[in-house]
Amino acid sequence: MRDRTNEEWLEDLRGPHRDEALADLRAILTHGLRHALSSRSRVRDEDIEDFVQEALLRILNALDTFRGESRFTTWAHKIAVRVAFTELRRRRWQDVSLDALLASYEGDFTPTFMADRAASADQQALQRMLWERVRRIIQEELTERQRRALVAVVIHGMPLEEVARRMDTNRNALYKLLHDARKRLKERLLAEGLSAQEVLRAFEER
């Protein structure tokens, strides 16, 4: 494997030496991902091969966006790591349906931020009261589609890409849906004499 400058990487990946350059880049990314994912015991060699293959496709499609502000291999490695972690997040949620998330939220669901017993009894009581008001507003004010997106992304932390895929939409449209949902929530909170900052502060103070 020969060392290449940024310009040489671009030239080789676009020219007659593409296969050789791809093989070298594959080896570099495989080594880098093995190190980056070494603490994750469930990641197999086959997984890393899949991540690298997807990363190579994205790198080739994005060559024109490389501006040379870092080493080419550093830029490529960042893409590979992003591919790997996006896929790992997706796998974490692959067996969880949006309907299940919505059902748990509408039942006896307790947000993670309310499970912290370090808060005082008075603070916990205030948090429960505010959470019930927020949940009621979510139920009354938002459309079903807004509610599904907000509960999945904001309350449960499901990745945007995974929610967009399950809702048969794209990332930009999901951003717009969440923006509109948050705006409606904020307007309703203000109408009831609360600001979003006051609600957040109740869950942050100790």
Do 195 and 115 lie in one domain? The reply is yes
- CATH code where residue 27 lies: 1.10.1740.10
pLDDT digits (tens, 9 = 90+) for 86-136: 888 777 655 555 455 455 555 444 455 444 556 577 777 777 777 777 788
How many domains would you assign to the chain? 2
**Residues 87 and 127 placed together within one structural domain of the fold:** no
152 Cβ contact partners less than 8 Å away, ≥ 6 residues apart: 98, 101, 102, 158, 163
pLDDT given at position 205: 45
Flag whether 1 is in a domain: no
DSSP 38-52: TT-TT--HHHHHHHH
Which residues does the chain have with pLDDT short of 70? Answer: 41, 92-119, 196, 198-206
Q: CB within 8 A of 162, min separation 6: which ones?
A: 89, 90, 93
157's torsion region: left (phi>0), alpha (psi -120 to 50) or beta?
A: left
On whether both 109 and 199 belong to a single domain, the answer is: yes
> How much is the pTM?
0.52
Residue 183: inside a domain: yes
Structure tokens, 156: 């449960």
